[in-house]
Amino acid sequence: MSTLSQPHLRTFVRGLPRSCREDARTRTQLLSTTRAKSTKATKTRTQASKAPNTSASSAQPSQAEKETLPWQEYLSIRKQKRRWETNIDPMFVYGGATLGCAGLGYLLGPVIGSSIWRLTHRRLMKLIEQRDKEFHQHIVKNRVDPTAQSATNPVPDYYGEKIGSLHAYRQWLRDQAKFRKKASGFLAED
């Protein structure tokens, strides 16, 4: 059935430009053929369902049954799809990226930093390593016994990591002596 054959639409269509009228005709023709096909398909489907089932067709599912998705499975897939399509706030993405970069920097920073430092101080490396060994021997010789520590008297800088100058080294030696004196007085009271 054409749109132009309906009397109440004729006046409306006459006011439209000719190109729009042609578009309207082609659309209505497409719709009418689609409707006719869909009604034929439903008629054949209802006739097929009314026909008696044979033993061969009941044993194997038909092609239409193979291609259809069960409702339960469809709804579970739809639920998963909706979860995956949920929007993520950009602040969460930025926060995750920031934490990822911070973690990567934490892991790679010492490796890259020490490599760059070694490259810039390449000619002094043998002398520095020799002094490191000597300094470590001084620390081991002068540090206190950590078994004498308590909650009120912790060991002061056991590895000497905070020593950065000669003045700091002398202060470290004084702190070690102070700890020994406290620990011996505390143990003597027991």
Query: Each residue of 104-121: pLDDT tens digit?
Result: 999 999 999 999 999 999
Q: How confident is the model at residue 190 (pLDDT cuts 50, 70, 90)?
A: very low
Q: How confident is the model at residue 153 (pLDDT cuts 50, 70, 90)?
A: confident
**Which amino acid, 180?**
R
How large is the average pLDDT for residues 69-89? 90
**Which amino acid, 51?**
A
Task: Report the C-alpha gap between 162 and 170 in whole angstroms.
Answer: 12
**Which amino acid, 1?**
M
Beta-carbon contacts of 45 under 8 Å, excluding residues fewer than 6 positions away, are none
User: What is the distance, to the nearest Å, from the Cα of residue 80 to the centroid of all Cα atoms in its chain?
Assistant: 18
Question: What pLDDT score was predicted for residue 64?
Answer: 72
How large is the average pLDDT for residues 131-139? 94
Tokens found for residue 64: 């239409």
Q: How confident is the model at residue 147 (pLDDT cuts 50, 70, 90)?
A: confident
Task: Report the C-alpha gap between 162 and 143 in whole angstroms.
Answer: 14
